Amino acid sequence: MKIRHYTKSHRKGKGRNRRGRKVPFFMKQEPSAWPAVQNPLFESMREENHIILRPDHNISRKNIDKEALKVLYRLKDAGFTAYLVGGSVRDMLLGKKPKDFDIGTDARPEQIRKIFRHSRIIGKRFRLVHVYFRGGKIIEVSTFRKQTDYDDREAAREELANSDIYGTPREDASRRDLTINGLFYNIANFSIIDYVGGMSDLRKGIVRAIGDPERRFLRDPVRMLRAIRHASRTGFEIEPVTWKAIKANADKIRLCAIPRVRDEWLKDLQSGVSASWAELMLESGMLEAVFPGFKPVLHGDRGKETVDMLLKMLKRLDKLLKTEKQNIGEELQLAFLAYPFFHFDPEWRKLQSEKIRWPTYEARNLLHEIFHPYDFRNMISDQAAQILASQWPVKLCSRRGSWPKRVWSKMTFRDSVLLFNAAAASQGLPEIEDEPHTTVREGTNRRNRGRRRPRGKNRRQAKANNRKQKCS
């Protein structure tokens, strides 16, 4: 009997890939017909010095997400070009853990869809493919393209042929926002491909728009917010021409869709570097452009104090986000951002009272004014209003040293104390404890704490007893 040794090479039959897996029909063509022709591309790039080979950079496959690697290899094995693109390459070069791993390829959405059984094409004009993995993980795969929907609105209105949308990797790099975001990691030889000068900007610590900043920002003003975001996250300098274009075009941000701008600044508020973000936003004039409701206070007599308090509050928020991110909700983040504008608002100051009262209605109106034109979920804005409104009762209780249940039993009480302490620290005032109602002050009668007031018959009985005691 003939013994057959089963080796890797046996598995590489017709219609099977490198790993011996069956491949879809369109991959069974001759290699020359495959869409990815990598060799000439490599040669030309090598000449132009666009490739940074593996020994000259620090990206290791160990740091790449397992599922993203799977997608990259499957695309490569099917004969396509597959690059890791965008923020993940930037973050790994900076030695940080990327938030998400996006993949760029020359395979068309239908081809990608056929390679990955658990995938779906999303989007109308620029169709992306979402590849699904166990545990709900999604890897986004997009075909290299020439321009974005923001770059060419005229074209977006017309039905263009696919060949007009999709482009080469070089075109894909140049439609991106910043040079540090335009780098590719090639899974074929573990090199980095740099068409836009991102590597040298990363080394020098520079945030620079790709192409002419003025033109790119006018096409999509959200790119100005993105430049400020990455400068504050990395601590990089914004390159002078890019900075000048941001200052000159800050007010163009109002041309963008309101929910899109809101999502962008909310992302910055919870980035953990919101204080340096706010500083850059202020300096560039973007803060007033994004929040027109801040203007009256910023231009008022106490504008300087407001800015000072805002930066201190955001520093505290960043600290809290670093230590207990899961407990800091969007409502508290909004309250931190809004607090200085409440604090210096004369109408708000008039609401201070000697009675325990929550001016929630007034807080909701002021919040609406400050954050106009942005909308939030009702629950978020209601809770943010309650946290802000609770600052008066918390102040009164801390002064009196007594904490009635109707104050501490509120769902937002913990957030109220966090905001109160941040505001106190920003003014150099003493802070209170995290759970002030649980600590017993010296001299207070422990037995009476938390006792319910007698009601109905018992109350009448208690009153009669009191009267008797007084008479005797």
Strands 191-194 and 183-186: antiparallel
223 binds, among ligand ATP, Mg ion, none (CB under 5 to 8 A by kind): ligand ATP
The DSSP letter of residue 178 is B
104 touches ligand ATP (CB under 6 A):
no
List 68, 112, 222, 367, residue binding ligand ATP (CB under 6 A): 222
223 touches ligand ATP (CB under 6 A):
yes
List 17, 105, 179, 181, residue binding ligand ATP (CB under 6 A): 181
181 binds, among Mg ion, ligand ATP, none (CB under 5 to 8 A by kind): ligand ATP
Least separation in angstroms between residue 396's CB and ligand ATP is 42
Least separation in angstroms between residue 89's CB and ligand ATP is 8
User: Residues 356, 397: contact at Cβ < 8 Å?
Assistant: yes
How many residues lie near ligand ATP (CB under 6 A)? 13
Cα distances (Å, whole numbers) of residue 193 to 171, 180, 186, 446: 13, 12, 7, 70
Which two three-digit tokens encode residue 443? 């001299």
Does 194 qualify as catalytic in the annotation? no
176 touches ligand ATP (CB under 6 A):
yes
Does 152 qualify as catalytic in the annotation? no
Least separation in angstroms between residue 140's CB and Mg ion is 9
Length, in residues, of the chain: 472
Least separation in angstroms between residue 288's CB and Mg ion is 28
Nearer to ligand ATP by Cβ, of 137 and 372: the residue is: 137
Residue written as tokens 């941000």? Answer: 253
220 touches ligand ATP (CB under 6 A):
yes
C-alpha to C-alpha distance for 163 and 182, rounded to whole angstroms:
22
User: Residues 249, 218: contact at Cβ < 8 Å?
Assistant: yes
167 touches Mg ion (CB under 5 A):
no
Site string for Mg ion, 44-73 (x = CB under 5 A): ------------------------------
Residue 406 has a CB neighbour count (10 Å cut-off) of 10
* Helix intervals (H) in 1-108: 8-11, 38-47, 66-77, 87-93
Which two three-digit tokens encode residue 73? 């290899």
Comparing every residue's Cβ against ligand ATP, the nearest one is 87
Which of the stretches 98-106, 197-205, 400-408, 422-430 binds ligand ATP when contact is defined by CB under 6 A? 98-106
Least separation in angstroms between residue 285's CB and Mg ion is 27
The DSSP letter of residue 141 is E
Site string for ligand ATP, 342-361 (x = CB under 6 A): --------------------
List 4, 5, 14, 99, residue binding ligand ATP (CB under 6 A): 99
Least separation in angstroms between residue 414's CB and ligand ATP is 29
102 touches ligand ATP (CB under 6 A):
yes
Q: Collapsing DSSP states into helix, strand and coil, what is residue 242?
A: helix
User: Residues 416, 398: contact at Cβ < 8 Å?
Assistant: no
331 binds, among ligand ATP, Mg ion, none (CB under 5 to 8 A by kind): none
User: Residues 361, 285: contact at Cβ < 8 Å?
Assistant: no
Least separation in angstroms between residue 57's CB and ligand ATP is 17
C-alpha to C-alpha distance for 329 and 334, rounded to whole angstroms:
9
Q: Catalytic one among 102, 201, 268, 345?
A: 102
176 binds, among ligand ATP, Mg ion, none (CB under 5 to 8 A by kind): ligand ATP
Q: Catalytic one among 65, 106, 177, 415?
A: 177
Restricted to residues 85-104, the positions that interact with Mg ion (CB under 5 A) are 87, 100
167 binds, among ligand ATP, Mg ion, none (CB under 5 to 8 A by kind): none
Determine phi and psi for 207, rounding to 5 degrees. -100, 120
Nearest to 399 by CA among 359, 351, 460, 355: 355
182 touches Mg ion (CB under 5 A):
no
CA angle 72, 76, 77 (to 5 degrees): 115
Least separation in angstroms between residue 99's CB and Mg ion is 6
Beta-carbon contacts of residue 315 (< 8 Å; ≥ 6 apart): 275
C-alpha to C-alpha distance for 166 and 112, rounded to whole angstroms:
14
User: Residues 109, 121: contact at Cβ < 8 Å?
Assistant: yes
> HEC string of 78-134?
CCCCEEEECHHHHHHHCCCCCCCCEEEECCCHHHHHHHCCCEEEECCCCCEEEEECH
User: Residues 278, 318: contact at Cβ < 8 Å?
Assistant: no
Least separation in angstroms between residue 87's CB and Mg ion is 4
* 52 Cα distance to chain centroid: 30
Does 177 qualify as catalytic in the annotation? yes
Nearer to ligand ATP by Cβ, of 90 and 315: the residue is: 90
148 touches ligand ATP (CB under 6 A):
yes
How many residues lie near Mg ion (CB under 5 A)? 2
Q: Is the dihedral of CA 14, 17, 20, 24 positive or negative?
A: negative
CA angle 104, 166, 207 (to 5 degrees): 55
Q: Which residues are catalytic?
A: 100, 102, 177
Q: Which residues bind Mg ion (CB under 5 A)?
A: 87, 100
Q: Which residues bind ligand ATP (CB under 6 A)?
A: 86-87, 99-100, 102, 148, 150, 176-177, 181, 220, 222-223
